[in-house]
């Protein structure tokens, strides 16, 4: 009787122990893989919150400006997410990127959406209805900044090209100089050699005449 009960209990206990051990190890292993944030820290948001909470009173137009900055940052993120989504989707389907990246991306997407809503709500506290068009304004500002950057880039590129051309010229001149220098040396050496030979010949002739 005793053995007939002992055996199934042991079997059941063993099974449960093995399974729980596996689940423990597995959970610990999967918990380690944290989701890496897609975007860096949202500086504009932090700045705005810091301004809101500052102990010294901040004039409202500063707060509004800070909120607009925050909206601009969000617009950039939103544009980025909208642009990246289709290619990422295609890559995921093709098996070229891993699931982790997709997970990261969806988390970032949700965060951005929440952030957008937050900004809208925040804007409405200043003036009813501002929330509806704050992002249009922000988008226009972003566009303007982009154009500025392009202009700047063109300028620097021109400078860089000029610099490279100059460098090339210098190098060529240097090489020509080096060459002329080596040529001059060569000629000098040859001249010396010729002179020596002449001297030798003369000596030989002298000896001959003496004889």
C-beta closer to other proteins: residue 81 or 123: 81
Distance CA 149, CA 143 (A): 10
Cβ neighbors of 37 (< 8 A, separation 6 or more) are 104, 108
- Smallest gap from residue 110 Cβ to other proteins (A): 7
C-beta closer to other proteins: residue 71 or 116: 116
Supply the Cα-derived Rg of the chain in whole angstroms. Answer: 40
- How far does Cα 69 stand from its chain's mean position? 22
- Smallest gap from residue 100 Cβ to other proteins (A): 6
- Smallest gap from residue 145 Cβ to other proteins (A): 17
Residue with the two structure tokens 């925040």: 122
Cβ neighbors of 195 (< 8 A, separation 6 or more) are none
C-beta closer to other proteins: residue 148 or 206: 148
The CA-to-CA distance between both ends of the chain, in Å, stands at 142
- Smallest gap from residue 107 Cβ to other proteins (A): 8
C-beta closer to other proteins: residue 13 or 87: 87
DSSP annotation of 38 reads S
* Residue 45 near residue 116, CB atoms below 8 Å: no
- What burial letters (b/e) apply to 146-177, b meaning 16+ CB within 10 Å? eeeeeeeeeeeeeeeeeeeeeeeeeeeeeeee
C-beta closer to other proteins: residue 106 or 137: 106
Name the site residues for other proteins (rule: CB under 8 A): 38, 84, 87-91, 93-101, 103-104, 106-107, 109-110, 163-164, 167, 171-172, 175, 179
C-beta closer to other proteins: residue 144 or 157: 157
- Smallest gap from residue 188 Cβ to other proteins (A): 21
- Smallest gap from residue 90 Cβ to other proteins (A): 5
């Amino acid at each position: 009787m005793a053995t007939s009960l002992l055996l199934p209990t042991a079997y059941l206990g063993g099974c449960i122990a093995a399974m729980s051990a596996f689940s423990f190890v597995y959970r610990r292993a999967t918990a380690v893989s944290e989701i890496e944030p897609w975007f860096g820290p949202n500086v504009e948001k932090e700045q705005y919150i810091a301004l809101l909470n500052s102990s010294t009173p901040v004039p409202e137009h500063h707060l509004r400006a800070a909120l607009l900055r925050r909206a601009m940052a969000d617009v950039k993120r939103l544009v980025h997410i909208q642009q990246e989504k289709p290619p990422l989707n295609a890559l995921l389907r093709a098996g070229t990127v891993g699931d982790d990246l997709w997970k990261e991306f969806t988390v970032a997407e949700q965060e951005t959406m929440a952030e957008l809503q937050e900004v809208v709500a925040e804007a409405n506290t200043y003036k009813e209805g501002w929330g509806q068009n704050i992002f249009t304004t922000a988008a226009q500002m972003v566009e303007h900044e982009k154009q500025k950057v392009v202009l700047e880039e063109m300028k620097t590129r021109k400078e860089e090209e000029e610099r490279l051309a100059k460098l090339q010229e210098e190098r060529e001149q240097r090489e020509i100089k080096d060459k002329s220098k080596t040529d001059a040396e060569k000629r000098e050496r040859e001249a010396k050699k010729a002179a020596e030979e002449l001297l030798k010949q003369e000596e030989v002739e002298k000896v001959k005449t003496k004889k």
